[in-house]
Amino acid sequence: MQPTEPLFDTLATAAFHGERVTARRLATRSQRSEAQALLEVLTQAAAMAGLDDLAALLAVRAGARQLDADRRAGRRAEQAARLAHRKAQLAPPSDRWRGWFDGSAHPNPGRIGIGALLCGPAGQRIEISRRAGHGNSGQAEYLALTALLEAAVEAGARDLLLYGDSQVVINDVNAGSVTVGASGLEDYRARVLALMAQTATSRLHWVPRHRNGDADRLSQRAIEPSPVEKED
């Protein structure tokens, strides 16, 4: 039996790696084509497996490949479902006021830009992006948070979910007024705690920088040189 090209593709798909290697070596030794050698190797494999013929071997291996493909597809589907579930858990609920803040100092210390985003349950969206003098990164973060809370007070927002990527500021605020605050930031913390009390908000939540993109974009935009500064 001389295997045709389509049959060779079928044989090659069904063959294990070791069988392909054996067929290539057999073809080299016997000066036959690899297709002929592979046909012989798989025919022998069918006999050793107690199968009636090569067609039975091909059917068994095709079924095994399909089963493996189904299992991989099932695992991918499970992973996708778990990822979607985690994302849903991480996403802040839309029925509460939510806020994100970020402050930048370029260089550090240097010119401060603050950015914040406040979103309400009825679709409200308030963006803050402005310069805030000069200082260090800790001051910049606190000024951004202060601006966000002032906007929340003005909007009548209460029980906010607040997010930022500064662990220094978030840990400092969450520690409360009963502990010693971060050095040089005591007055900023006192102002923030007072504003949080006005909005019935008790805690801040840390998020990695890549999940604080809107606030970061707004803070970076605030420190971009103006057209006049660019000309100078």
CATH number of the structural domain spanning residue 159: 3.30.420.10
Question: Do both 61 and 107 map to the same domain?
Answer: no
pLDDT of residue 176: 85
Residue 185 and residue 123 share a domain: yes
The DSSP call for residue 58 is H
Q: How far apart are CA 193 and CA 145, in angstroms?
A: 11
Q: Are 20 and 124 part of one and the same domain?
A: no
pLDDT (0 to 100) of residue 229: 57
pLDDT in tens, the chain (232 residues): 555 667 888 899 999 999 999 999 999 999 888 989 999 999 999 999 999 999 999 999 999 999 999 999 999 999 988 887 677 656 667 789 999 999 999 999 999 999 999 999 999 999 999 999 999 999 999 999 999 999 999 999 999 999 999 999 999 999 987 777 788 999 999 999 999 999 999 999 999 999 999 999 999 999 987 655 555 5
Residues 135, 65, single domain; the answer is no
Domain identity same for 112 and 226: yes
pTM score, two decimals? 0.63
In whole angstroms, what is the distance from residue 164 CA to residue 140 CA?
Answer: 12
Could you tell me if 96 and 121 are in contact, meaning their C-beta atoms sit under 8 angstroms apart? yes
The pLDDT of residue 97 is 96
Domain edge (last residue) among 54, 70, 90: 90
Residues 194 and 140 in one domain: yes
Predicted local distance difference test score (pLDDT) of residue 221: 95
The count of structural domains within the chain is 2
- Given 90, 118, 134, the domain boundary residue is 90
Domain of 154 in residue numbering reads as 98-231
> 111 and 73 in one domain?
no
Same domain for 214 and 112?
yes
SS3 185: coil
- Report the alpha-carbon angle 156-159-161, nearest 5: 110
